[in-house]
Structure 1
């Protein structure tokens, strides 16, 4: 058990204890400790195109409101939902001064909005009920979503010997089937499997704390020998 004597490795594991608030990955992303291959499209650029012609929009899964706050100017009516309770006060503090109504939800099948209340519904990396989105969307309105597929970072689970991601079967084809069966016309669809690199083991354990559904109940001690193997790989290859 050489990891017991490796002080640098053990220190890096302590990054799992760092606090994670809202949807802010700046601790590892802004410092260059993790990097993803660029996508062939920009969700934000697409969203802004629709926002400029919208009169009433909803942002589903706003996190701490970090991204939505940067998409101004807003339409006349802007609402945001968030299902992760610790994020709600953060989003309220950031967004309500900007005129955004922030609402906590706990059920994708029931959104507290009137029928046909929005001409634009945005959704980045948030679960959704196609039927419920269809209900709140006006005829001719737009639903723009960018999802994380069930195979995202599957290599992490494989290397650590962890169970597969619970929603490993969540794919573009499954999403399209649900939307089409609820009367949506698919205007554009794209799928990509970008490479993501972690440049130190501390960044990886911090990521797994934040993305808590990747490996359920992840604790470094449970996978410490596998993590040490990855740590040595990073020492050798740089990532």
Structure 2
């Protein structure tokens, strides 16, 4: 016996924080490694930092694993359900967690941070430059606008026009214009593989901007086609879109 198409449609799994372990640690979804490690780059910077910010910390999953952290470490989170998770995980480590509503109005003084980390979170280049000390480092990894568009194509769903043109070239130009010098950067398109329909549905519920207003009933017909494809091939492959930038405030 194995799960049917209807079984996958009827699953209810709640996504909390920024943790995909429900489908990654069970090998239901896997991703091709990038040629860089954002975590290693961030970790190597910490010994030289006194005041640091992690933007879009989610439930604090990533930041909590970078210990030992600088004495003054701060985190922001804009998704309300994650704020309490971040507070519970990070405040015992001495991290101050701030809920935010606007990227441009960060609740910090001018020229406050030596290091700002941002993994897969939106940001305002001008807002970042305001709170960044001269010679401070801004290290980001972003999801580009072409991320996993094969999902949209398979479901007959439009690509989110707000992010469609978001790429390394655009991000570099914005940072240079806002008072940063680029130290290094790279852009890649690794594959992401789904081994069952349930893992794809879980992913789409966790990433609501991939397919806006996603629900299984509206996309039932094309979900069935994907279910049959996975039954035949054993998986469904898409291409991620990732880039990183390491920049210094000038």
TM-score of the superposition, structure 1-length normalised?
Answer: 0.96
**Is the CA contact 1:154–1:165 (under 8 Å) kept in the aligned structure 2?**
no
Aligned to 2:200: 204
Residue 17 of structure 2 is aligned to residue 22 of structure 1 = yes
Matches within 5 A, 1:33-72: 33-72=28-67
The superposition leaves residues 111-162 of structure 1 with CA deviations (integer Å, 9 ceiling, x where unpaired) of: 0000111100000000000001011110001000000001000010011000
Residue 230 of structure 2 is aligned to residue 234 of structure 1 = yes
Q: Following the alignment from structure 2 to structure 1, what is the Cα–Cα distance between the partners of residues 86 and 215?
A: 28
Aligned to 1:80: 75
| RMSD, aligned α-carbons | 1.1
Q: How much does 1:51 deviate? A: 1.2
Which has the larger helix fraction?
A: 1
Q: How much does 1:165 deviate? A: 2.0
**Is the CA contact 1:108–1:132 (under 8 Å) kept in the aligned structure 2?**
yes
Q: 4+ residue runs of structure 1 moved beyond 3 angstroms?
A: none
Residue 92 of structure 2 is aligned to residue 97 of structure 1 = yes
- SS state of the match for residue 64, structure 1? coil
Q: Following the alignment from structure 1 to structure 2, what is the Cα–Cα distance between the partners of residues 7 and 62?
A: 35
Residue 116 of structure 2 is aligned to residue 121 of structure 1 = yes
Q: 1:139 to 1:198 in 2, by over 3 A?
A: same
- SS state of the match for residue 190, structure 1? strand
Aligned to 1:216: 212
Which has the larger strand fraction?
A: 2
Q: How much does 1:7 deviate? A: 6.7
Aligned to 2:187: 191
Q: Which runs of 5+ in 1 are unaligned?
A: 1-5
Q: 1:234 to 1:180 in 2, by over 3 A?
A: same
Of residues 173, 178, 184 in structure 2, which corresponds to 1:177? 173
- SS state of the match for residue 67, structure 1? helix
**Is the CA contact 1:9–1:228 (under 8 Å) kept in the aligned structure 2?**
yes
Aligned to 1:3: none
**Is the CA contact 1:157–1:165 (under 8 Å) kept in the aligned structure 2?**
no
Residue 7 of structure 2 is aligned to residue 11 of structure 1 = yes
Q: How much does 1:27 deviate? A: 0.8
What is the number of residues matched between the two proteins? Answer: 233
Q: Which runs of 5+ in 2 are unaligned?
A: 236-250
